[in-house]
Chain A
Amino acid sequence: MCLGIPGQIVSITDPEKLLAKVDVSGIKREINIACIVSDGHPVAACVSDWVLVHVGFAMSRIDEEEAARTLQILEELGEVELELDAMKLSVESK
């Protein structure tokens, strides 16, 4: 019910009604972009935005840097775990 799906805005279809066309995995449909438009991010700037689509509305612009940062944290956690494993092994083998 509360799920959303990432899509990329390909064009503005009705700047007055704040409607745009979004591409979700090759499926294109018209969505409402009222929730991602602001003074600092006008309608025209929305083209090529990655957004979270929920029941026909773009609900949030996806922050690529934050997505990368989250994955980076997990990457680093993996490295720490490997190091801990190596340390544990070396202690056990003594």
Chain B
Amino acid sequence: MGSLARAYGRPLAALIAAITVVWVLVLVLVPLGAMIEQSLWWRESKGDTSLAIDRLYNDMSTLQLDRSSATDPARQAALDAQIAEKQAQATALEAQEKNPPKVYGFDNFTRISELHLYIFARTILYALMVTLLALVVCYPVAYSVALASGPRKAVILTVALIVPYAINELLRVYAWLMILDYRGVINGVLGWFGLVDLDNRGWIPFLENPSAVFVAMIYTYVLFMVFPMVNTLETLDRNQIEAARDLGASSFRIHRRVIIPHAKPGIAVGCIMTFMLSAGSYSVPQIMTRGQGGDWFSQLVYRQFYESNNWNMGSAYAVSLLVVCTAFILIMMRLFGVGLRDIAK
């Protein structure tokens, strides 16, 4: 703060500090805090509360009957007191039923069912596969944009990469749905060649396979993988490639020993982004499977919020996904020897 004030003057330094604080609050602390808080409590609604209320009202009716047949004033007074006491109990229970008490604890996290746990693990695995496939697809693209083509061709390639992103993500996913559908583009072409029999439902059911989701996801997140890689590859001194070739290295060895090690931070950023996006993607699996294929965990989170109307459980699911993904990324970064400092570059 002191050095900031010296560099920019007091008012500007204060402004920079304020913007930073607002940024951290609005983008990180408040939404994350709200989600974590939500996940840490639930409302205790005992199933027998309504039974107890019913029993109280029954008791009250009986007492009312006794009261109307009683003639002794002392007895009447005693019965009135009993009824009033029961009424108070019932009112308290009713209030509790209407607005159950908040209970704090980790139950939302521990109550996850075995099936949901399985889906959770499978989602992480699928996201990993999407990331790997995207890496395989994107590396050659990034390499040709950054190193293998002249500036003119690189511009054309970059534009070609960006153009599909002018269309809404949902529409792009729907486009893939149309391509891979039972009577979609691919099956249509195959049918036209007589390879599949569309009239007797002899089409290839692409959409029933998880790889349909993979294809659409890779297509959707390709840029997030390509651009970080292009950015680091562009900083590679081309003389190093020429030097390696001059020393007799094959293309494969040049990639393995010179280009990929240099691109590692970019590859790491691309993989992290693609992994996070695909692990948390809701629309792509929802649209591509049309609810018929295996669920992804993000769909479960959605359902907890909007179908079970259990926001606490939904928050717990979301927080779990976040924590596991973050831990996973940190482990991968450690394994590949990439530090946060490299990524920030």
Does A associate with B in a complex?
A: no
Interface residues of B (CB under 8 A from A): none
